[in-house]
Structure 1
Amino acid sequence: MLQVDVRGETGPELVLLHGWGSSADVWEPVLACLSRSFRLTLINLPQQLSPVQGSSPVQSSSLVKGSPDQLTSQLVSNLLAVAPDKAIWLGWSLGGQLALAVAEAAPERVAGLVGVASNPCFIQREDWPDAMDKALFAQFEEALVSDARKTLKRFVLLQVQGSENQRREVMQLMAALSEADPQTLQCLLGLLRLDMRQALKTLQVPCLYMLGQNDLLVPVSLADQLVRLRPDVQVLIQEGAAHAPFLTRPEVFSEQVTTWARQISF
């Protein structure tokens, strides 16, 4: 089962999903503010994935190594198993893509979707230029094989470039680094290859995307693409922020989430 931490006893349910290479500890700077308005469920992505053994059936409670589609399906099942019956799902980076996958699979369980520095199609395509450079993504995949820990630290530095609070955010992100084994990190990174634009386009739940003004991994120009893809999506841009806008200005971030959530009917 996934590791879960519940904070608070009252208020609307809010599920928090962290990004690749990180852990639920990354949310610490915003928990005090968010817990004033929500009952929080923090979920840690797995630190180890079990290999698929031959043709044996996969139990719904297990997590397996396999294709990105297979792993996403298994993760969604496990996330739903530990989540509240109905909640707003807020995901950062990879967590935003998983939250979108949850909403696609079980829209009746999702009151609203918040993607933070997240992209329904993370890697550039001919018809989707506002995404992560293909070559840069390939470099990360290759580097993970040779030195996972060094690659994680390099990823932290990329995430804070352009932020007005780089030094503080480096320390916060380093403190929240994932303890997952290298193979698990590779499997989770592979999920970013999925194209989930159609899922976002057809999703029938309220959506908010929060982007960092100076993000090198999820460019702020994505805002126009999101609105074209789904005209009713709300997009907020955090000034002075890079890939972790919730760390740059935690109180502003929390207030924006709270204000948006007040519009949602559970």
Structure 2
Amino acid sequence: MNAVESRIPLVVVGGWGVDAAMLLPLFDRWPGEIHLISLNDALMSRCDSVTEVADYLLERYPCPSVWAGWSQGAQVVMAAASRSFAQVSKAITLAGFPRFVAGPQWPAGMAVDSFEAFRGQVSQNAGLAWRRFQQLLIHGCPDGSQARQELRPWLARGPSVSDLNLARGLEWLGSEDQRSLWSALAVPTLHLQASEDVVVQCWEHTFDPSQVAKVVTVPGMTHWPRGQSLSRCQDEILRFVFGKEVQWTL
């Protein structure tokens, strides 16, 4: 790996109500600086949409970087990539989706009834609804006991945003539809999907992203990339970003 490659910054955007630091094990040997962005109160209180979040982050991180987004964060990253090819040199989505809720020609989304029921739960008891959602991040893990142990510290911290912004984040999930953006984006993109995801369905065979995008469904992976799926994700990211087999360590 040459000196230029070793300095490539990475911007990581987390998902709904979670701390982006939950993804650190995935990038623990990234050869460059890492900027972790959580969709927290400080960020969401100043923005009214996914696009506004993307614009704000583009102002904060103007240097050409690789951008990675997890779940709802994937929509932020894709919006940023569509607005500044110069700053987002490559994009990575992890358990991401162009549209969260099911609709016409989009069977991979969450059923409308299920989404509305969850939104109702958040309005009644956001903390409890958030905890239930966190359990879905690891639902289907082959190593359930270990997964629950790894999730426990994050559950103890509680949501990274207020009840109000948890509800606002759901509003964004319910309204954002980036299918046309994803299908036309000229920025090289790697979409890593989870074969065991119970939050969103794999859309690999129902939707065609842009011609410069690569879609990989990771076996055994749930909505939170962890466990044995981490190694596969790291390998795919390494090949995608650097285009060759190299070691993560410098």
- TM bracket (short chain): 0.7 to 0.9
Segments of structure 1 that go 5 or more residues without pairing to the other structure are 1-8, 51-62, 65-69
In the TM superposition, structure 1's runs of 4+ consecutive aligned residues that sit over 6 Å from their partners are: none
Equivalent residue number for residue 20 of structure 1: 16
Which structure 2 residues correspond to residues 175-186 of structure 1 after superposition, within 5 A?
Answer: 175-176=153-154, 177-186=158-167
Q: Deviations over 1:10-66 (max 9, x none)?
A: 432211111111012212322323x2x34311112222544xxxxxxxxxxxx14xx
Equivalent residue number for residue 135 of structure 1: 113
Give the 3-state SS of the residue equivalent to 1:85 in structure 2: coil
Offset, 1:257 = 0.8
Give the 3-state SS of the residue equivalent to 1:16 in structure 2: strand
Equivalent residue number for residue 40 of structure 1: 34
Cα 1:29–1:14 shift into 2, 3 Å: same
Give the 3-state SS of the residue equivalent to 2:204 in structure 1: helix
Offset, 1:174 = 4.5
Offset, 1:118 = 0.6
Equivalent residue number for residue 239 of structure 1: 219
Cα 1:186–1:204 shift into 2, 3 Å: same
Answer yes or no: is the 8 Å Cα contact 2:26–2:225 preserved in 1. Answer: no
Q: Percent identity over the alignment?
A: 23
Give the 3-state SS of the residue equivalent to 2:105 in structure 1: coil
Question: TM-score with structure 2 length normalisation?
Answer: 0.85
Equivalent residue number for residue 211 of structure 1: 193
Answer yes or no: is the 8 Å Cα contact 1:165–1:248 preserved in 2. Answer: no
Answer yes or no: is the 8 Å Cα contact 2:101–2:115 preserved in 1. Answer: yes
Give the 3-state SS of the residue equivalent to 2:193 in structure 1: strand
Aligned length in residues: 235
- Indicate whether 1:168 and 2:146 are aligned: yes
Cα 1:165–1:83 shift into 2, 3 Å: farther
Offset, 1:201 = 1.4
Give the 3-state SS of the residue equivalent to 2:7 in structure 1: coil
Which structure 2 residues correspond to residues 78-117 of structure 1 after superposition, within 5 A?
Answer: 78-117=56-95
